[in-house]
Structure 1
Amino acid sequence: MLKSANGRRTTVVFGYIAALAAVAMNVVYPAITRVSVTATLTPADLLMLRLGISGLIFAPYLFWNASTIPRRIWIAGVPLSFFHGWGMAACVIFGLQFAPASHAAALGPGALSAWIAVLGFLVYRIAISTQKFLAIGAIITGVLLILVGSAKGLSTANSMTGDVMFLAASGLAAAYLVYVQQNRISPVLGVSLVSTYSAVVLLPWYLLAAKSGFSAASASEIICQAVFQGILSGCVVFLAINYAAQTIGSQTTGMLFALVPALGVVASLLIAKDPVSGIEWIAIFVISGGVVAGAWPAGRSTSPQAAADGVIARRCAQAD
């Protein structure tokens, strides 16, 4: 019995390590991407590195399990790859050319739970509890404050353009999550379809029409971004979140991800050297409070909304 308890304790510790590692990656991802996309590599380069490499890694899973995957899922993978792959990722990476990394953290992972609750209600009539409603209100308030700051030019000159892209990315990711939760698509199958289909879509565009900055970038930057975008962000974070959700629970994982908007500001300041105004600090903490309130356990019962929240926690890293 003692050995079993120690094993369980070790598993929980590794679950927290996995969750915190995923949080850390989501915190630094916008800042590291913004540094590169505003200096040497183009958005097309980073997009191809992220989804091309992850597509190569997950494609074997589809090959070995092809006979067990229903035809409707193969077909559904086409729009889903836009919602959670090349469309969503493009909005984030291209948006980072215009807006600070702190905005990406706040309007991406920060707004995701609000998008999911609204889409779940509109499409599947999933009830929104009073607690969730208030949490959504706080998130929307924070989002509006950021948009006001951008409209007044308190951050970068074209930050409103980036903000719109970040919100679009968050909305697309929410559409994907609501769909896979309602249709019970396994996480590994979902990300395998998204990554592989996205790589197939992007490769012709990248080779024939996209602008590349590889010739101006150093070998070390290309290798670092390949590892960071394709392996860490495209694969490791996804697996870490799923492991954390299974070991420490989706509610706990979701609450840890409430750290992303606030810590994303710190990363933006230290890594990307982006300015942060007073109104943006307030907005980001309001959004963080809304995320915490939305992820806080409301009771013992497992409602449809709680199930949706579990999906948020398991997949949050794929929204940036």
Structure 2
Amino acid sequence: MGNSVRLAKLQANPVVMASLGAVFMVFVWSGWIILSRAGVQSSLTPADLTMIRFGTAAVFALPFALRYDWAKVTLWKAVIVSLGCGFPYTMFSFYGLLSIKAANAGVIVNGLLPVFGVILAFLVLGERTTIRRLFAIGLILLANLIMMGQPQAIQDNWFGWLMLIGASLVFSIYMFLAKRYGFTSRDALAFLPLINAVLFLPIWWMSDSGIPETPVSTILLQASYQGILVSIVTLLITFYAIKHIGAMTLSIYFSFVPFVTALLAWPILHESLSITEILGIILCSVGLLFYARKG
């Protein structure tokens, strides 16, 4: 009886529920990097993974799209925001993960988000940042250089690093514009999966596919995680968390994504880390914490 009462009180507290949702999302996003790295190492191509993700999401989000008031949204704004969190982001990420380890990708993609965010805010809105945030950005950039390794390693994997930087850039644009245009979770759920599925289908159709050679279990795992858990469930949790604990607090939770990704990559993908890479992960996490901290 007492446990039931405590559980009811917990569920009735939106701040607690939003905080638990934020913790859940940290593991989901970290798991997404791990699963995507495993996916591109299978017979599936980056285009296959992208089509599986948005095709599955579009099917499950179709009831929301059919009931959505499309007259209230400016189509070109919806398309731009959808692409920022859509197939350009996933294709950049998947091509980067072909050659870059999961832990390193977690640092590059997540670490550069506030860097691009500050740049966009300055170029578009003329907003200046604080000394503390500039210090945090310095730590993050240093962490990125450490994760990339020696100049020869950067030269050998330049395409993968460039793809991950591109993924961070387009996702930063998505976060910036989604907030600026005032889109809600209902808006994003209605048009984001559908627009990406429709626009990417011809691209996937004209590309080589490894789906016929892929076990059904692998396809179902990618479809359920990429298309349902990441594209729909975490989308709803993100907007709920922002509403009740704020975007700044949520970003503090997300600062642990590189660290959690590294922990998961070791037992799941058997990707070991050097001392310098561990230092890079710690520096990135500290930089993100400094950036997100209030005051």
TM-score, normalised by the number of residues in structure 1: 0.83
Cα 1:9/1:193, change in 2 over 3 Å: closer
Amino acid at match of 1:21: F
Q: 1:172 aligns with which of 145, 161, 170?
A: 170
How is 1:140-151 mapped onto 2 (pairs within 5 angstroms)?
A: 140-147=141-148, 149=149, 151=151
How is 1:263-282 mapped onto 2 (pairs within 5 angstroms)?
A: 263-282=260-279
Contact 2:68 2:190 in 1 (8 A): no
Amino acid at match of 1:108: V
Amino acid at match of 2:78: G
Partner of 2:38: 35
Kindly, what percent of the aligned residue pairs are identical?
25
Contact 2:185 2:236 in 1 (8 A): no
Cα 1:152/1:281, change in 2 over 3 Å: farther
Partner of 2:53: 50
Whole-Å separation in 1 of the counterparts to 2:108 and 2:241: 23
Whole-Å separation in 1 of the counterparts to 2:70 and 2:29: 34
- 1:264-309 Cα deviation digits (max 9, x unpaired): 11122222222422222111211111110111111xxxxxxxxxxx
Amino acid at match of 1:51: F
Partner of 1:216: 213
Amino acid at match of 1:162: G
Between 278-287 and 224-233, the greater mean CA deviation after superposition: 278-287
Structure 2 residue matching 1:153: 3-state secondary structure = helix
Partner of 2:66: 63
* Post-superposition offset of 1:128: 0.8
Whole-Å separation in 1 of the counterparts to 2:93 and 2:30: 14
* Post-superposition offset of 1:181: 1.9
* Post-superposition offset of 1:170: 0.6
Partner of 2:121: 120
- 1:111-161 Cα deviation digits (max 9, x unpaired): 2112111111111112212222211111111112222x164439xx95432
Between 39-48 and 179-188, the greater mean CA deviation after superposition: 179-188
Matched, 1:109 2:106: no
Whole-Å separation in 2 of the counterparts to 1:15 and 1:179: 23
* Post-superposition offset of 1:8: 7.7
Whole-Å separation in 2 of the counterparts to 1:177 and 1:24: 20
Cα 1:175/1:66, change in 2 over 3 Å: same
Whole-Å separation in 2 of the counterparts to 1:253 and 1:36: 28
Contact 1:27 1:263 in 2 (8 A): yes
Partner of 2:158: 160
TM-score, normalised by the number of residues in structure 2: 0.89
* Post-superposition offset of 1:198: 0.9
Contact 1:99 1:158 in 2 (8 A): no
Whole-Å separation in 1 of the counterparts to 2:210 and 2:121: 40
Cα 1:46/1:67, change in 2 over 3 Å: closer
Matched, 1:12 2:15: yes
Amino acid at match of 2:116: W
How is 1:250-265 mapped onto 2 (pairs within 5 angstroms)?
A: 250-265=247-262
- The number of residues matched between the two structures is 290
RMSD: 2.4
Between 198-207 and 9-18, the greater mean CA deviation after superposition: 9-18
Contact 1:92 1:165 in 2 (8 A): yes
Contact 1:51 1:198 in 2 (8 A): yes
**Gaps (5+ residues) in structure 1?**
299-320
Partner of 1:130: 131
**Gaps (5+ residues) in structure 2?**
none
Matched, 1:196 2:194: yes
* Post-superposition offset of 1:172: 0.8
Partner of 2:242: 245
Whole-Å separation in 2 of the counterparts to 1:158 and 1:285: 25
Partner of 2:228: 231
Whole-Å separation in 1 of the counterparts to 2:135 and 2:50: 35
